[in-house]
């Protein structure tokens, strides 16, 4: 499923030779003179600025997560997933979530194929797919998707042809919620990758 939409990307600032725009990166137009022969990291940023970048990106992550919790998109299970991530498995959360995305797209495809069949009558199979979707969504803290699955399953349990149209509408809502979650979590992981890069170059740099 193509869920690509215009998402806000956090790009590293490209500094000109003599000046750099505001340190915050949020529209501050003041020009800051650079010190001649300042030590640069591999990112092109002065080493002394990297801590500021990492802190800003962490704040961006926290704001995005707070928004997703406020909207009911995620619940505390996602935080528990984050707590399992450590130095030995730095990509644990993104790997688990990507497996979830892969399996979810197969389930969504199967659900749509069932409902588009003119002779559709296998409500039991639909319920099985929805139960799988509910379980996997609960395991990563995708609260709003789980709730949509519950409503979808309730509509499918009527087992009447006239309810197929309602199931199709429920599927459209489910697909919309899935794409919203996928885009937001991809954005979160992009910020996290950039934060790790910014934080990682705090360590002594090797001379070229």
Report the pLDDT value the prediction gives residue 72, as an integer from 0 to 100: 98
**What tens digit of pLDDT does each residue of 108-165 get?**
999 999 988 877 778 888 999 999 999 999 999 999 999 999 999 888 777 666 577 8
Mean per-residue pLDDT for 23-47? Answer: 39
Residue pLDDT, tens place only, 80-124: 999 999 989 989 999 999 999 999 999 999 999 998 887 777 888
Helix 164-200 vs helix 92-116: angle between axes, to the nearest 10 degrees?
A: 160
Q: What are phi and psi of 104, to 5 degrees?
A: -65, -40
* CATH 2.60.40.180 for the 92-188 domain, yes or no: no
Per domain, the residue ranges of the chain are 92-188
Q: What is the pTM of this model?
A: 0.72
């Amino acid at each position: 499923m193509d869920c690509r939409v215009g998402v806000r990307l956090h790009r590293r600032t490209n500094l000109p030779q003599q000046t750099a725009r505001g340190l915050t990166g949020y529209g501050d137009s003041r020009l800051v003179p650079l010190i001649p022969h300042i030590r640069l990291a591999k990112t092109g940023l002065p080493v002394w600025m990297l801590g500021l970048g990492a802190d800003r990106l962490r704040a961006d992550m926290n704001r995005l997560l707070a928004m997703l919790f406020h909207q009911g998109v995620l619940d505390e299970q996602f935080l528990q997933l984050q707590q399992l991530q450590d130095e030995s498995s730095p990509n644990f959360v993104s790997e688990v979530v990507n497996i979830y995305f892969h399996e979810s797209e197969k389930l969504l495809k199967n659900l749509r194929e069932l409902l588009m069949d003119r002779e559709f009558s296998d409500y039991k199979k639909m319920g099985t797919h929805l139960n799988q979707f509910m379980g996997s969504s609960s395991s990563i803290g995708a609260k709003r998707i789980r709730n949509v699955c519950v409503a979808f399953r309730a509509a499918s349990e009527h087992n009447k042809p006239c309810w197929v149209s309602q199931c199709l509408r429920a599927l459209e809502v489910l697909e919309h919620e899935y794409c919203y979650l996928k885009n937001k979590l991809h954005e979160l992981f992009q910020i996290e990758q950039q934060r790790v890069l910014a934080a990682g170059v705090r360590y002594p740099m090797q001379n070229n």
